[in-house]
Structure 1
Amino acid sequence: MQHDVLVGRGDVEKELITRLTDNEEEKSLCVISLVSEEALGKTALARNVYNRVDIRQHFQCRAWLHVAKDFTYKDLLLAIIKQIPICGVLADVELMSEHQLIGWYLHQSCLARVSTPFTVAANGSRVILTTRNSKVASEVDPWGHPLKLMRLSDEESCELFLKVVNEANHDNLNNFKVGIVRICRSLPPTIVLLGGLFSSIQPNDEWSGVTDHLSQYLGDDDQSVDLLTIVALSYHELPYVLKPCFLCLTLFPKAYEISTRRLLQLWIAEGFIQISTTTATSVLELEDLAKAYLEELVSTNMIEIATWKEHGSPKTCRMSSFLYNVFLPKDEDIGFLQIHHCNSHVHESNQIIRRLADHYVGVKSTLESHTQHLCSYVSFKAQKQGTSNREVGTLLNTIISKRRSRGIFLMKVLDLEGVYKPLLPEKLS
């Protein structure tokens, strides 16, 4: 959910800012938990506060982390260290052990006499934790008082929907607001997605069709339409040329800020950018159309812009964590892509793998069965430790040798951005 469409969170935001900055008397570490079992925009609120100018000025160092289930402790330390603007060159930090990382972190940050990077003595450090599990919040800070997000009121739901749709003729929207409130039942992610869907279709007749269709999913107790139903409809309504572009975002790690430059190049290399012309197409034309694809996806609220360049163009984008959780399993089930996670176990499978992404692990886990039809490989392993540079070459040599007998070698995408000095086969270098 975009930070500029937060509605009905003023009191919680104000309280969160107060707890973050009121450290004149409380100098020890404080954990502030945002809790709600439902998808109510916890991450959007936290991100909005995290990026505020006054918060950036108040704290000398900030770090934003998504802690995945398969994250190792060392991954966590590296993620923190790489976001801290400290003096000195951070040389070969990936080669350090966990013990060395903790020692280096404590030394550089003057955090002596503590055993973990979060336990900071007397300097007013703060941690914002977003979770659906209230037990997690109580275990992290048994004496704290979590901030609990509530559903929006009917008036706030309508206000948010109007902001998302940005329809000049509000009379059109007023005719549908009762149905919209019943369908969304005051859940911000649902409102944002439905608003994006309405933005992409014509008012009145098509809007009526959507509300009538979704109203069929209201239960006898008039509960809200399940968010997954609206997600499925939003994806179904995407133009066919945009669907593979959208699915490609799950190649990237969850909550990852994706460089738009990198994403557009990936779409072009995959052949997803389609221009109906019989004449030669320039790279510039493909890039312009790819940018238009991105703008259209953003307008549907299926993805969002994370950061902007100085001149106003998108710098990075991301898929919401909720949508990532929905679409990644589906992408893997249909064979659109395969992800290797940290500490994951890869098993032999008869499924054809065409796109493969390695998250935090080396390609040594790549099985022979995964290379026979592989046309795209993306790596996110930037660590120097280990042999990731040689493993890339081993993977490519395996692919070449297996396909040499067939006389073809088709590899559309080889994205090694951030991989430390990969050793490539001579035929590719």
Structure 2
Amino acid sequence: MTQKNLSWVLERINHGHYKAERLQAWEKNKQELSETMTNCLYYFTLFPTDFEIPTRRLVNLWVAEELVKQNKQQTAEDIAERCIQDLRDCNMIQVMALKSNSKIKTCCLPSMLREIILQDSDRTNRSHYSGAHLERRYDDRGLDENSENEFSKKGIPLSVFSLTSERGKNKEKILSTGIASEQLRDVRVLDIERIFRPQLPQTLCKLTHITYLSLRWTYLEEFPPFIGKLVNLETLDLKHICIRVLPSSIWKLKKLRNLYLNHKYRSRVEGKLRGDDQENVHTL
């Protein structure tokens, strides 16, 4: 980039032109976006400003949260991937990295557009997902000793996910006490990606509504035996953990659609598939 081009970009930023362009793009597209695309776009606001999100994570979260649903022609995952591409095409999200096959690898919601969306007072009139429903998602930055009070204000959580790598002193305790007090009884998504070797309570087996469980980048050394009891689990992410052999109880998960295993440790699963035990598997 030449100095002349860079000066032009900086001048436009300083005078707010980019924000004006984002605002124009939002005003142009917001009425034309389908309810599914609108819901998926609002989901980006759960993440911090300029947070780079893998499309793999977004697709599986959207499916688990039932923001997208399969039809006779396409799977829910295919619809979610198409939604990401459509949001890119209408300039609603920013592509951060591409895969070798030119598909989107990571993306984010531009900070200026995020600010515009959050300030749009009319957003609750266009999406059933925004408003109180959206507030029932909690990330690990909001989990502390006052979480129970927050739950009573906003409602019992539907999703709990990690956005930081710090293990934290209270997170395991909050999970345990939240389950014991039934504050987490309706949780469908538990994403603790990058929490280093968390001590997961055995009582997690009581969260039978969970459809999405991510232990990616946790470097766990022992497989949580309760996973086989999560009968509604659809996505199980075990990538980048330190376990070589996984028990055959995984195959008890009849609704499992996506199973991500470690490559570096060459994880293997005990037991074998029998007949149509895993006819629903979409990604292995």
Shift of 1:261: 0.7
Shift of 1:409: 2.1
In 2, distance between residues paired with 1:391 and 1:409? 19
Q: Choose which of 40, 48, 69 in structure 2 pairs with 1:274.
A: 69
Shift of 1:233: 4.8
Q: 1:321 to 1:378 in 2, by over 3 A?
A: same
Aligned to 2:136: 354
Aligned to 1:375: 158
- What's the RMSD between the two structures over aligned residues? 3.3
Q: 1:14 to 1:319 in 2, by over 3 A?
A: closer
In 2, distance between residues paired with 1:14 and 1:370? 45
Aligned to 1:181: none
Aligned to 2:176: 397
- Residue 181 of structure 2 aligns to a residue whose secondary structure is helix
Shift of 1:240: 0.9
In 2, distance between residues paired with 1:409 and 1:14? 52
In 1, distance between residues paired with 2:61 and 2:47? 12
Q: Choose which of 93, 115, 120 in structure 2 pairs with 1:303.
A: 93
Are 1:260 and 2:55 matched, yes or no?
A: yes
In 2, distance between residues paired with 1:13 and 1:313? 29
In 2, distance between residues paired with 1:327 and 1:188? 14
* CA contact 1:382–1:419 (8 Å) conserved in 2: yes
In 2, distance between residues paired with 1:237 and 1:292? 16
Shift of 1:362: 6.5
Q: Gaps (5+ residues) in structure 1?
A: 1-8, 17-32, 43-186, 194-230, 338-352
Shift of 1:243: 1.3
Q: Choose which of 218, 242, 245 in structure 1 pairs with 2:40.
A: 245
* CA contact 2:136–2:159 (8 Å) conserved in 1: yes
Q: Equivalent residues in 2 for 1:225-236 (5 A)?
A: 231-236=26-31
* Larger Rg, first or second structure (1 or 2): 1
Aligned to 1:364: 144
* CA contact 1:392–1:423 (8 Å) conserved in 2: no
Shift of 1:366: 4.4
In 2, distance between residues paired with 1:426 and 1:265? 24
Give the AA of the match of 2:4: V
Are 1:423 and 2:205 matched, yes or no?
A: no
Are 1:334 and 2:116 matched, yes or no?
A: no
* CA contact 1:258–1:318 (8 Å) conserved in 2: yes
In 1, distance between residues paired with 2:7 and 2:116? 32
Shift of 1:37: 4.3
Q: 1:240 to 1:36 in 2, by over 3 A?
A: closer
Runs of 4+ deviating beyond 4 Å: 33-37, 329-333
Shift of 1:188: 4.1
* CA contact 2:179–2:203 (8 Å) conserved in 1: no
- Residue 35 of structure 2 aligns to a residue whose secondary structure is coil
Q: 1:403 to 1:248 in 2, by over 3 A?
A: same
Deviations 1:338-362 (A, max 9, x none): xxxxxxxxxxxxxxx411124xx46
* CA contact 1:241–1:274 (8 Å) conserved in 2: no
Deviations 1:96-129 (A, max 9, x none): xxxxxxxxxxxxxxxxxxxxxxxxxxxxxxxxxx
Q: TM-score, with normalisation over the residues of structure 2?
A: 0.58
- Residue 112 of structure 2 aligns to a residue whose secondary structure is helix
In 1, distance between residues paired with 2:160 and 2:191? 6
In 2, distance between residues paired with 1:375 and 1:363? 14
Q: TM-score, with normalisation over the residues of structure 1?
A: 0.40
Aligned to 1:411: 187
Deviations 1:283-320 (A, max 9, x none): x9222121111111112111121110122111111111
In 2, distance between residues paired with 1:365 and 1:255? 28
Q: Equivalent residues in 2 for 1:70-89 (5 A)?
A: none
In 1, distance between residues paired with 2:143 and 2:91? 34
Q: 1:272 to 1:38 in 2, by over 3 A?
A: same
Shift of 1:269: 0.8
The worse-fitting range, judged by mean Cα deviation, of 328-337 and 303-312 is: 328-337
Q: 1:329 to 1:412 in 2, by over 3 A?
A: farther
Aligned to 2:5: 13
In 2, distance between residues paired with 1:237 and 1:15? 35
* CA contact 1:268–1:290 (8 Å) conserved in 2: yes
Shift of 1:36: 4.4
Q: Gaps (5+ residues) in structure 2?
A: 125-129, 205-223, 225-284
Deviations 1:190-222 (A, max 9, x none): 56x2xxxxxxxxxxxxxxxxxxxxxxxxxxxxx
- Residue 427 of structure 1 aligns to a residue whose secondary structure is helix
Aligned to 1:130: none
- Residue 236 of structure 1 aligns to a residue whose secondary structure is coil
Aligned to 1:161: none
In 1, distance between residues paired with 2:21 and 2:136? 36
